[in-house]
């Protein structure tokens, strides 16, 4: 219904279905013009209906009559739909989706809820600012709904926002959260790179650098025939250090 109403409003033909354009008499100067556009609107509505509904409106010659038939057959359960929308808003969470995707889903529900439960408008011309108060209340409600469904990785920024008095606009809150999401993504990517680089470095360490006792115990000097050192570290060939106290027979 909403899509059809938008299309009719866009073409300035809504008056043919809501009854504001009364069917003129045949001697009315623009009767032919009215008949032409009325038939056009009937065609639009008919083509948008499923086949099982065609018989119920096939013989109607007035767009307004078709609209009444459809409204009677599909009454608007506003209260039920409002409850469904509020339930969906209360249970919707980000989960594995991006903040942008999650926010878009929320906004879709908010926009539909606004159709069924619009903000009251002042008709008495008062200056108490009640209309503005309603808007602020609805905006604050949206902020809380948005923040409640976010993942825990933005807990710090979420707490900072809730500690602000007054709360920033919803657009500002969204901007702060998406900036934090970008920071978390970059930080996570950087940590993964560092971890991978460290692991690769450990994997490529030459075996000769690993000074385990088992490896050293198998070293054998070709000169002294001892197995505690190699020829490259043999003191008998290189000379004993000046502070050597072990004696020449122990190396």
Of 13-22, 31-40, 148-157, which gets the smallest average pLDDT? 13-22
pLDDT reported for residue 204: 56
- Average pLDDT of the chain is 80
pLDDT reported for residue 170: 96
Q: What confidence tier does 86 reach under pLDDT thresholds 50, 70, 90?
A: very high
pLDDT reported for residue 1: 67
DSSP codes of every residue in the chain: -HHHHHHHHHTT-THHHHSSSPPPPTTSTTHHHHHHHHHHHHHHHHHHS-HHHHHHHTT---HHHHHHHHHHHS---HHHHHHHHHHHHHH---TTS-HHHHHHHHHHHHHHHHHHSPPP---S---S-HHHHHHHHHHHHHHHHHHHTS-GGGHHHHHHHHTSSSPPPHHHHHHHHHHHHHHHHHHHHHHHHHHHHHHHHHHT--GGG---HHHHHT---TTT--SSS-GGG-HHHH---TT--S-GGG-
Mean pLDDT, residues 88-114 taken together: 93
């Amino acid at each position: 219904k909403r899509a059809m109403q938008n299309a009719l409003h866009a073409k300035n033909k809504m008056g043919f279905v809501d009854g504001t354009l009364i069917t003129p008499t045949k001697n009315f100067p623009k009767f032919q013009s009215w008949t032409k556009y009325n038939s056009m609107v009937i065609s639009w509505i008919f083509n948008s209906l499923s086949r099982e509904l065609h018989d119920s409106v096939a013989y109607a010659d007035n767009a307004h009559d078709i609209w009444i038939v459809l409204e009677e057959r599909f009454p608007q359960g506003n209260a039920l739909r409002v409850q469904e929308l509020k339930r969906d808003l209360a249970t919707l969470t980000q989960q594995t989706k991006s903040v942008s995707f999650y926010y878009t889903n929320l906004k879709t529900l908010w926009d539909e809820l606004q159709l069924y439960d619009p903000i009251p408008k002042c008709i008495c011309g008062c200056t108490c600012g009640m209309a503005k108060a309603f808007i602020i209340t609805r905006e604050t409600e949206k902020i809380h709904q948005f923040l409640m469904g976010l993942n825990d990785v933005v807990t710090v920024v979420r707490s900072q926002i809730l500690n602000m008095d007054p709360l920033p606009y919803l657009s500002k809150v969204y901007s702060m959260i998406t900036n934090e999401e970008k920071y978390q993504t970059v930080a996570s990517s950087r940590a993964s790179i560092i971890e991978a680089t460290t692991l690769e470095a450990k994997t490529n360490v030459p075996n000769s650098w690993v000074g385990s006792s088992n490896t050293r115990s198998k070293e054998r000097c070709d000169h002294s025939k001892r197995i505690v050192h190699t020829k490259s570290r043999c003191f008998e060939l290189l000379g004993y250090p000046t502070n050597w106290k072990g004696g020449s027979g122990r190396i």
